[in-house]
Amino acid sequence: MEAVVDTGADITVIPIHYLRQIKAKRISRGKARSLWGDARMVDIYAVTLAVNGLQVAALQALADDQGEEIVLGRQVLNRLKIVLDGPAAVMEIVEATP
């Protein structure tokens, strides 16, 4: 499955139907604010992600009950070594840190 990389997002966002498919555990509820300043209450889940075969464990992700795309935020990206080739529009994930 594909995801959007968003270096401006603090946290990862995953559509709720994916979280339900993997039986992710809801750990809390909180308020999330969008890029446009609007806020809404969201459920927060504990997840472990596999990104190109590399596991990134013990993460929190916001459940999205409206969108269809996974958004990888900085709390995931900060645990990956990434090579970004802007002119070629290619991002390569080299390794994950524990």
Share of the chain above pLDDT 70, in %: 99
Tell me the pairing of strands 80-85 and 25-33: unpaired
Higher pLDDT: 76 or 95? It is 76
CATH 1.10.1740.10 fits 3-96, yes or no: no
Strands (DSSP E) contained in 1-98 are: 3-5, 12-15, 25-33, 39-51, 54-64, 70-72, 80-85, 90-96
Mean pLDDT of 69-85: 92
Q: Give 98's pLDDT tier (boundaries 50, 70, 90).
A: low
| Whether residue 32 has pLDDT greater than 80 | yes
80, 95 in Cβ contact below 8 A?
yes
Q: Where are the domains of the chain?
A: 3-96
Closest CA to 47 of 68, 83, 21, 67: 21
- Rounded mean pLDDT of the chain? 91
